[in-house]
Amino acid sequence: MGIPGQDALASGLAGLRWEWALGSRGAGSVVTCIPGLFAGGWIWDDTWSSLRAEGLSALRLRDPLAALDAARDPVADSRRVLETLLD
């Protein structure tokens, strides 16, 4: 499993911001929090805090999918970002 670095999105797969937290239990499984079409990563704030308190590794995308360029496919772009970050 890859741990995201600043260069993980350098290929321009999408302009989504993300947040990564390696839990005390290691990176064996990663909980992924995906934003809504119009709601950003803030919808996961309570869940994010709980995951961190439990020592779980987690990744969340910070921006709503609608924030992407309308000419692009936000679902496919976010999928490619997740694949890049987690491979």
List pLDDT tens digits, range 68-81. 665 666 677 667 76
Could you tell me the residue ranges of all domains in the chain? 17-86
pLDDT value, residue 11: 41
Residue 1: the pLDDT is 46
pLDDT of the residue at 15: 63
pLDDT at position 47 is 92
**DSSP per-residue string spanning 9-76:** GTT-S----EEEE--TT-SSSEEEE---SS--GGGGHHHHHHHHHTT-EEEEE-S-GGGS-TTS-HHH
* pLDDT for position 67: 74
pLDDT in tens, 16-61: 677 888 888 776 788 888 787 778 788 889 999 999 999 998 888 8
Residue 10's pLDDT band, with cuts at 50, 70 and 90, is: very low
Q: Which pLDDT score is estimated for 16?
A: 67
